[in-house]
Structure 1
Amino acid sequence: MENHQTPNVPMVSELTDEARVTFYKKTYTHLAGAVLLFILVETFFFQIDAVVNFALSLTGGYSWLLLLGGFMFVTNYAERLALGSTNTHLHYAGLVLYVIAEAFIFIPLIFIAMYMAGEGAFDILNQAAILTLSLFTGLSAVAFLTKKDFSFLRSILTIGFCIALGLIVAGTLFGFNLGLWFSVGMVVLASGSILYQTSNMIHKYQENQYVAASLGLFASLMLLFWYILSILSND
């Protein structure tokens, strides 16, 4: 997520210790709220057969590519709302829009995971959630304890995600399974994204951008959850 600066608003790194802690609390509170909203929206979606069937109908061939394209468009728009305006209501609109988009695109993966696990469906979801939160917490701790600026990861992540997107498109068009190692590689990329986003929160954001910071962290968290769940579902 590319940051846009607002004139006359101090950077988080320039704040007093107390003000920085307040910013971090706001960011992680909004992140927790986004996760809770995701769970509620996902649960709501699964109560509506038409929504589930529609999402599942988009998982094959060109439909899946269109869905990914639509998700990327919504992601870009949500980020612009969260970062490109001084209107707090637009910041929240961007975050909520992104959470709803994530909940929709997760429908096929969660459906498959529940189908494969049978009676153990909730166990596999809980395992994926615990592993995701554990890894997220550990990576966040690394960023906070070292206080290192991980902005150098941006170019690496950009190249990695472009390669991954190319493989996804090729796999969809030519009908081959990307397999376990692709998911493992994506877990590594998602982990790097968490370090990058946490570092940005510490060094790059302004005092009024806690919603945007939470959106960036939420996106990385959900990417990690997606591929950990994919790995567990294929065991």
Structure 2
Amino acid sequence: MAFNDSHTVRPHNEQAVSGARANKVLRNTYALLAMTLLFSAVTAGAAIALGIQQMNIFVFFIGAYGLMFLVHKTANSAMGLLATFAFTGFMGFTLGPIISAYLTLPNGGALIMNALAMTGLTFIGLSAVALMTKKDFSFLGNFLLAGAIVLVLAMVAGLIFQIPALSLMVSAGFVLFASAAILYQTSEIVHRAGETNYILATISLYVSIYNLFISLLSILGIMSND
């Protein structure tokens, strides 16, 4: 009888501990995500104020992937937070030239605000779906892997052929990819110990939001003939 009692109580305790751990990771992730997004807005504003008109593509890739690598190497230490702000600050700075270019358009300000609003609503909606339905979106992992390969190839083709329709398709693909990544990452935190490090979880969600905003802004620009 005692064996049966201990056998039934243990899974309940483990489930409670797992749920508490997931809630803690979620709280820390969303808090850090909010701070990094705010910091990115500041660095983007700094780039605009400095009059930065163009970001060298090689500088972008070296800075982005170099700092991303640093975040992953230091994620389990206090240096991880500094690396996180360095990465998100750099990514925000790279938005400066893009936003500056849109601000020169007659309706550029409206396009930017619409893209921001759509990004925020999409993120909140997808997060709510993952948190409230408790559905396991781990099946999206294979889709994300395949989607990343397809999008990289499409981006290369877009740079070579400069076809507006292809650019629109790539942007739409990134919207779907970023949306799936938000669902997948949130689900990983909720349903399993797939992500217990809130720094890595923050970076994953940040990159998805960044791609979502850029892609929506591009789509709005193309559709408005700008």
1:81–1:93 contact (8 Å) kept in structure 2: no
CA shift in 2, pair 1:169/1:19, >3 Å: closer
User: Hey, what does 2:102 align to over in structure 1?
Assistant: 113
Alpha-carbon shift at residue 67 of structure 1 (Å): 4.7
Distance 2:73 2:65 in 1: 12
User: Hey, what does 2:217 align to over in structure 1?
Assistant: 229
CA shift in 2, pair 1:74/1:24, >3 Å: same
CA shift in 2, pair 1:53/1:124, >3 Å: closer
User: Hey, what does 2:38 align to over in structure 1?
Assistant: 36
CA shift in 2, pair 1:175/1:123, >3 Å: closer
2:71–2:83 contact (8 Å) kept in structure 1: yes
Given the two structures, how large is their TM-score scaled by the length of structure 2? 0.80
Match of 1:69 among 61, 79, 84: 61
User: Hey, what does 2:171 align to over in structure 1?
Assistant: 183
Q: Deviations over 1:147-200 (max 9, x none)?
A: 233222122112111111112122223443333232222211111111111112
User: Hey, what does 2:133 align to over in structure 1?
Assistant: 146
Unpaired segments ≥5 residues, structure 2? 1-13
Q: Which moved further from structure 2: 162-171 or 120-129?
A: 120-129
Query: Counterpart of 2:133 in structure 1: which amino acid?
Result: T
Mapped pair 1:123 → 2:125: no
Query: Whose RCO is larger (CA < 8 A, sep 6+)?
Result: 1
CA shift in 2, pair 1:110/1:141, >3 Å: same
Mapped pair 1:196 → 2:184: yes
The Cα RMSD (Å) is 2.4
Alpha-carbon shift at residue 25 of structure 1 (Å): 1.8
Mapped pair 1:95 → 2:95: no
Secondary structure of 1:164's aligned partner: helix
Alpha-carbon shift at residue 71 of structure 1 (Å): 5.0
Query: Counterpart of 2:35 in structure 1: which amino acid?
Result: G
User: Hey, what does 2:72 align to over in structure 1?
Assistant: 80
Alpha-carbon shift at residue 224 of structure 1 (Å): 0.7
Q: Deviations over 1:38-68 (max 9, x none)?
A: 100100111112xx1342xx3xxxxx3x355
User: Hey, what does 1:3 align to over in structure 2?
Assistant: none
Secondary structure of 1:53's aligned partner: coil
Task: Find the structure with the greater CA-based Rg.
Answer: 2
Count, aligned residues: 207
Alpha-carbon shift at residue 14 of structure 1 (Å): 6.1
Distance 2:21 2:91 in 1: 31
Query: Counterpart of 1:205 in structure 2: which amino acid?
Result: E
Mapped pair 1:170 → 2:172: no
Q: Percent identity?
A: 26
User: Hey, what does 1:211 align to over in structure 2?
Assistant: 199
